[in-house]
Amino acid sequence: MNEIEHQVTALVALLAVAVVVSVVADRIGIPYVVALLIVAAPIDIPSSEAFAPALLFVFLPALVFEAAWNVRADALKRRWLPVAVLAIPGVLITAGFVGAGLALTGQMPFIPALLLGAILAATDPIAVLAVFKRLSVPTDLATIVEGESLLNDGAAIVLYGVVIGILTGHGGPPTPLEIAWTALSTSLGGAAIGFVVAALVALLLRDNDGSQLQVAGTIVAAFGAYLAAEHFHLSGIFAAVVVGISMRAFPRFPSLVGTVDVNAFWSAIAFLANVLVFVLMGFRIEFRQIIAEPRLVLLTLAFITFARITVAYVVLPLASRGVPPAWRSVIALSGMRGALSVALVIGLPANVPFREQLVDAVYGTVLITLVAQGLAIGPVISRLRLAPAD
């Protein structure tokens, strides 16, 4: 068996096992991504260093585009303020709490701790959204949770890049104004590229009823916008978000027939991408590294939790009074950390101080939040008796 045949066989076997686990998870009522992580984490399989670039340049554009394509534009328009509050102040508060907390407790200096906070500021609501679909929660609540994840991924990556620059001595410590300008320019620049790509592809295909071409057009748009933005050192995530939302909004694209096929295609791609990401992430996480730093992991979890509670129950009500108390409980519990955090910490340069401790803390936080909160979110939503989806 040659190398390519061996890799394809391994991939098919991996997907087969993942499908079986997902079916079993669905029957017993737990999110399939949580089940995949529980099954894969104890298995000691050497994982490739290619996990981080594969996630950032293969899986992430597809997952972000699919989520943006399916987000309800009307609900996002109604709930843009809580989404913005969770995505931008939420990232800064999380990073600040972790940075200050770990520095004050003597775990590590402030700047490396701030980097850890930036890495863990990106939420991963896949398990929550799977429960949402099963229990039929209000559309606006689902939009808030998913919209937060789409935007805070981009904000967290911008902050991550700034802090790495400080730690590795690239250009010296930036001023707050420089940090704000970097965040604004990379975000808006990525969004502009996403809109331009969406407009070009939609205008090219708007009078074409062939669903195959429309599916192909969305693939080109999703990956083209993301890669173009990253090439120019702009936000690929914001590019993928905007291209997904914009293409769905353009008149006569996709066609009625094309919409069904595009939706089915991206739904399948998102499922396969999530299956592979969570299985590979489970293989990547090593228990020995989590056990090596128990105090650091527990303190990081404590500060992450405190930050999430503060954002959900204090900051959000002050900024947006239209979020019911029951929704805030769900939002607080939906702040899981996932694959993006793992990819960012794996991708840290070798010369970043406290790199090993950062890896240990991220692995522990991701594993515990995904499993604990992923298993708890369903019973909590059931007890809250939320109104059904509209």
pLDDT in tens, 47-64: 556 677 878 888 889 999
Q: Is residue 174 part of a domain?
A: yes
CATH number at residue 141: 1.20.1530.20
Q: Is residue 14 part of a domain?
A: yes
Q: Which amino acid is at 338?
A: G
Q: Is residue 390 part of a domain?
A: no
Task: Say how far apart CA 352 and CA 115 lie, in whole Å.
Answer: 10
Q: Quote the domain boundaries for residue 105.
A: 3-384
- What residues contact 283, with CB distance under 8 A and at least 6 apart? 40, 41, 43, 45, 47
Domain total in the chain: 1
Task: Say how far apart CA 248 and CA 364 lie, in whole Å.
Answer: 38
Task: Say how far apart CA 67 and CA 73 lie, in whole Å.
Answer: 12
pLDDT at 256: 58
pLDDT tens, position by position, 89-114: 999 999 999 999 999 999 999 999 99
pLDDT at 253: 72
Q: What is the overall mean pLDDT for the chain?
A: 86
Mean pLDDT value of segment 358-363: 92
Task: Say how far apart CA 292 and CA 202 lie, in whole Å.
Answer: 52
pLDDT at 379: 87
pLDDT tens, position by position, 168-219: 775 556 677 777 788 889 989 999 999 999 999 988 887 777 788 889 999 9
pLDDT tens, position by position, 314-333: 999 987 778 888 899 999 98
pLDDT at 199: 92
Q: Is residue 163 part of a domain?
A: yes
